[in-house]
Amino acid sequence: MPDDDNNDTLQGRLAPAERAIRRAQLEKKIRQLGGVLPIAKSEDVSDLELSFLEHVIAWEEGSFSTHREWLARRGPVFPPPGELHGDRLAAELWRLIKSLAVARVFLYHTNHLSDVELYEVLWSEVLDGDAPDFARTPDDGCHWDLSEARGGDFNVWLTFYATEKERREWVRDFPEAVLPPHRQAPYRRDHRLPVRDCLRHA
């Protein structure tokens, strides 16, 4: 007669073993693709860890599409900036911001830009950013910091967003750099932006 207790124990041992094998297979595949992984510190393998590794492989092997293309296939398209004015511009701006959040694209530091300026950047640059062309999950996130300029210019961030402590540290680390005076950002929008962990809207 089988010993049910022993069978339960065996099943409990097999599941972790199978998961460990699966992790090793996924990690090997990632390294073959040129990825670098930290050494696993735990013998326990969670569903979350396996899902993450599978996602990394999908990211490396899958085709890419722009956020504009990804959204258009699901319905939302957005008119060029020159076609929008007044209330329609504001409405389209927030429709675009919320649609980007659905595509798991999240924005930061926009308060130095007017609605017109922000829409132009989102339409001409952010929508043309690309990502793997597969279903995007709550674990995904593409982050656009609008205070970052091309060429490593940190003046916008230093002027409008850096704390006094961060500004002092900047002077300490880059004593020859010119520190721009602090200014209050002219717009208030960032507190309304969707965030990755909890999509909230005002």
pTM, two decimal places? 0.70
Check whether residue 187 and residue 102 sit in a common domain: yes
pLDDT of residue 201: 39
Last residue in a domain, options 61, 91, 106: 61
Total domain count, the chain: 2
| Cα end-to-end span (Å), the chain | 65
Residues 21 and 75 in one domain: no
Specify the pLDDT at position 21. Answer: 80
Q: Do the domain assignments include residue 82?
A: yes
Residue 45 CB contacts under 8 Å (≥ 6 apart), including other chains: 16, 19, 20, 22, 23
- For strand 64-66 and strand 142-145, is the pairing parallel, antiparallel, or unpaired? unpaired
Does one domain contain both 127 and 165? yes
pLDDT at 135: 60
Could you report the per-residue pLDDT of 55-95, keeping only the tens digit for each? 777 766 667 788 999 899 888 899 999 999 999 999 999 99
Residue ending a domain, choose from 37, 61, 85: 61
Residue stretches of the chain with pLDDT short of 50: 1-14, 198-202
For residues 40 and 51, what is the distance between their CA atoms, to the nearest angstrom? 15
**Closest-CA residue to 129 (of 158, 98, 107):** 107
Domain co-membership, 107 together with 165:
yes
- The whole-angstrom distance between residue 119's C-alpha and the CA centroid of its chain comes to 19
Confirm if 110 and 193 have CB atoms less than 8 A apart. yes
Q: What is the pLDDT of residue 11?
A: 41
pLDDT at 133: 64
Query: Does some domain include residue 199?
Result: no
Looking at the domain assignment, is residue 198 inside a domain? no
Look up the domain containing 53 and give its range: 4-61
Nearest to 165 by CA among 177, 182, 184, 153: 182
> What is the model's pLDDT at position 17?
77
